[in-house]
Amino acid sequence: MEEKIWLSSPHMGGTEQKYVQEAFDSNWVAPLGPNVTGFENDLVHFLGNNVQVAALSSGTAALHLGLILLGVKAGDEVICQSMTFSASANPIVYLGATPIFVDSELDTWNICPIALEEAIQDRIAKGKKPKAIIPVHLYGMPAKMDEILAIANRYEIPVLEDSAEALGSSYKGQKCGTFGTMAALSFNGNKIITTSGGGALVTKSSALKDKTIFLATQARDAAPHYQHSEIGYNYRLSNIAAGIGRGQMEVLEHHVALRRKWNQRYQDFFKAISSVIVFKEPTADFISNHWLTAILLNSFEEREALRLKFESQNIETRPLWKPMHLQPVFASYPYYGRSVAADLFEKGLCLPSGSNLSDNQWKRIILVLEDFFKKQKENA
Ligand SMILES: *Cc1c(COP(=O)(O)O)cnc(C)c1O
């Protein structure tokens, strides 16, 4: 069996160990230290727009603290894009709040502005105004932030942007992760950059950043003894992990360029196969980091056949995220929209997209695709 080709695997730039070594040399082996501060500064510099960044132990922790800072409490309702990874929705339930799931639209596969407004109006009519909206930039594709923010502003509901997959993406020249009242980033092992595990909450004020760090470090009041007036969390990023992050920030733009290159090559390949749609930017307003390249096939059966063919060659592919309103654990919560997300899930497949794919691995991928689509190509 040939070596495994992963969908997306960690890709070190080379300087990560230097920062980790510095942490050891200075004995900053703790959830604070110069790498944490340095990594936060790198992210602030990259994102621009006067944001403030608090480095945390995961993207999920960032979403959890974001909801707390927005005042979400037990019994509240929070609107969440249905087509996403479960970590977008889980923190709503941690707080005893109710997720209200909303369908996607076809241009970006992200939250549909029309269904979003329907959901808000109906929840208000039923007696509860949602406390927050969580749009997601799926696979790095920016959501339609102009329309989403216009609706959010009209109903005065804050936006918590799930930018876990979209570091390096932008919409109308503005970086993803800087649109919402707050935004969550993730540095898990398979994301565009990794700290092995980690995340960050992006805010617009130093007061909110300070409050995030206060909650993330057990909510300790200013006193010589340990005194607490609020419930705290142990959510800060370690100085070791942040060292990896500092090295990764040096190669972020390069890695985005590589993922975009693979996306372009997939687009070139599928030009001759009219039955397959490669997920790409709908207009020049959108720039995706193309964290993962996804395609839409004709049917569930064809998608499964291609997935199994890749699997037989030891190549990992993955169906799109199964929408949250179709997940057993979330099935009882309200859902607004039609069947866009469900249809995408049926027919969609994510293809290997790592910035560290080798030319030889690329050849193996193309061989599988050529073989699978041979007949269609001959008929074209
Ligand atoms: C990865 C991911 C998260 C969670 O981030 P972790 O760092 O793994 O906790 C949240 N939302 C989306 C859309 C993700 O892809």
Secondary structure of 182-223 as H, E, C letters: EEEEECCCCCCCCCCCCEEEEECCHHHHHHHHHHHECCCCCC
pLDDT at residue 380, as a whole number: 56
Ligand 1 atom with the shortest distance to the CA of 197: 7
Whether the CB of 85 sits within 6 Å of ligand 1: yes
- Same domain for 26 and 52, yes or no, is yes
CATH number for 349: 3.90.1150.10
Calculate helix-pair angle for 206-216, 59-69, nearest 10 degrees. Answer: 120
Ligand 1 atom with the shortest distance to the CA of 63: 10
- With the most atoms of ligand 1 within 8 angstroms of its CB, the residue from 7, 56, 60, 320 to mutate is 60
- Same domain for 186 and 299, yes or no, is no
Residue that terminates a domain, selected from 221, 249, 277? 249
β-bridge pairing 77-81 and 132-134: parallel
- With the most atoms of ligand 1 within 8 angstroms of its CB, the residue from 84, 139, 162 to mutate is 162
Quick: pLDDT tens for 303-346. 999 999 999 999 999 999 999 999 999 999 999 999 999 999 99
Q: Name the strands in the sheet holding 286-287, side by side, starting at the edge strand that comes first in the sequence.
A: 174-175, 170-171, 286-287
Whether the CB of 10 sits within 6 Å of ligand 1: no
Quick: pLDDT tens for 52-111. 999 999 999 999 999 999 999 999 999 999 999 999 999 999 999 999 999 999 999 999
- With the most atoms of ligand 1 within 8 angstroms of its CB, the residue from 160, 186, 322 to mutate is 186
Contacts of 295 (CB under 8 A, 6+ apart): 266, 270, 276, 277, 278, 279, 348, 349, 351
Whether the CB of 201 sits within 6 Å of ligand 1: no
- Same domain for 129 and 102, yes or no, is yes
Torsion sign, CA atoms 163, 347, 278, 150: negative
Residue 224 domain-assigned (yes or no)? yes
What is the pLDDT averaged over residues 270-282? 96
Report the catalytic residues.
191
Domains of the chain: total: 2
Residue 374 has pLDDT above 60, yes or no: yes
User: Among all chains, which residue has been given the structure tokens 């942040």?
Assistant: 242
Residue 376 has pLDDT above 90, yes or no: no
AA letter at 240: I
Do residues 70 and 132 touch, judged by C-beta distance below 8 A? yes
Buried b (16+ CB within 10 A) or exposed e, 308-329: eebeeeebbbbbbbbbbbeeee
Nearest CA to ligand 1 atom 2: 164
- Same domain for 257 and 371, yes or no, is yes
Distance from Cα 274 to the centre of ligand 1, integer Å: 33
Distance from Cα 87 to the centre of ligand 1, integer Å: 6
Whether the CB of 186 sits within 6 Å of ligand 1: yes
Ligand 1 atom with the shortest distance to the CA of 137: 13
| Structural tokens at position 372 | 């699978």
In terms of Cα–Cα distance, which of 162, 87, 109, 80 is closest to 320? Answer: 109
Distance from Cα 173 to the centre of ligand 1, integer Å: 24
pLDDT at residue 377, as a whole number: 63
Ligand 1 atom with the shortest distance to the CA of 190: 1
CATH number for 178: 3.40.640.10
Residue 95 domain-assigned (yes or no)? yes
Torsion sign, CA atoms 339, 342, 347, 349: positive
Ligand 1 atom with the shortest distance to the CA of 188: 7
- Same domain for 165 and 312, yes or no, is no
Confidence of residue 375 (pLDDT cuts 50, 70, 90): low
pTM of the shown model: 0.96
- With the most atoms of ligand 1 within 8 angstroms of its CB, the residue from 163, 165, 201 to mutate is 165
Distance from Cα 217 to the centre of ligand 1, integer Å: 21
pLDDT at residue 1, as a whole number: 80
Residue 9 domain-assigned (yes or no)? no
Whether the CB of 161 sits within 6 Å of ligand 1: no
* Cα 184 to Cα 202: distance, rounded to the nearest angstrom: 6
- Same domain for 82 and 218, yes or no, is yes
Residue 378 has pLDDT above 80, yes or no: no
| Structural tokens at position 191 | 């994301």
- Same domain for 284 and 214, yes or no, is no
Residue 334 domain-assigned (yes or no)? yes
Residue that terminates a domain, selected from 193, 222, 249? 249
Residue 327 domain-assigned (yes or no)? yes
- Same domain for 232 and 306, yes or no, is no
- Same domain for 275 and 234, yes or no, is no
- Same domain for 130 and 227, yes or no, is yes
Contacts of 84 (CB under 8 A, 6+ apart): 136, 138, 162, 321, 323, 324
Range of the domain at 333: 252-379
Distance from Cα 114 to the centre of ligand 1, integer Å: 25
pLDDT at residue 218, as a whole number: 97
Residue 83 domain-assigned (yes or no)? yes
Residue that terminates a domain, selected from 224, 249, 274? 249
- Compute the mean pLDDT over every residue in the chain, rounded to the nearest whole number: 96
What is the pLDDT averaged over residues 43-50? 96
% of the chain exceeding 90 in pLDDT: 96
Calculate helix-pair angle for 359-372, 252-270, nearest 10 degrees. Answer: 30
Q: Alpha carbon 74 to chain centroid distance?
A: 25
Separate counts of helices (H) and strands (E) for the chain: 13, 15
- Same domain for 69 and 81, yes or no, is yes
Residue 51 domain-assigned (yes or no)? yes
* Cα 292 to Cα 139: distance, rounded to the nearest angstrom: 5
Compute the CA torsion angle 12, 15, 19, 22 (nearest 10 deg). Answer: 130
CA distances from 72 to 76, 129, 133, 168 (A): 6, 12, 11, 29
Provide the 8-state DSSP code for 52.
E
Contacts of 61 (CB under 8 A, 6+ apart): 199, 216, 233, 235
Residue 126 domain-assigned (yes or no)? yes
What is the pLDDT averaged over residues 172-180? 98
- Same domain for 342 and 224, yes or no, is no
